[in-house]
Copies of this chain bind each other. A is one copy, B any other.
Amino acid sequence: MSTQLLGAVEGGRGDVFDSACPARTVLDHVMGKWAVLVLVALRARPLRFSALRRAVGGVSEKMLAQTLRTLEADGFVHREVAPTTPPQVTYSLTGLGHELTGHLTGLLDWIDTRLPDVQAARAERAAVRAGT
């Protein structure tokens, strides 16, 4: 598993994967600060640029456009331009994108449910640093 992404712990080559590794670039794109949110937002339904921007709080036009271009290039989202004035551009997930978001929502849901545990861990650590 994850043969492309992790260096050989057992064998010991050591520098098996660098930034040039294709799998790494995909991972970086997908894990990008905004990519996850965009992907998951699109999972519910196709959205237009503005709606997407509203759905993903705090993203600038620049970053949203940039993220979308990357995700489109990787084949995760589909860009549909309606030839109207003003132009309407709708983004939706491709089949590949749907598969991907399946894994992502699993992760996000887990974070949601386990948030209390993480906060507890943080609190405990803070207490240790203060007390002992």
Contact = CB atoms under 8 A, between A and B. Distances in A.
A119 interface: yes
Contacts of A16: 57
Nearest to A2: B108
Given A75-B120, A115-B23, A56 B110 contact: no
Interface in A98-112: 99-100, 103-112
Size category, A interface: 35 or more
Interface-centre pick from A45, A47, A103 (highest chain B CB count, 10 A): A103
Nearest to A102: B110
A30 B7 CA distance: 19
Nearest to A116: B22
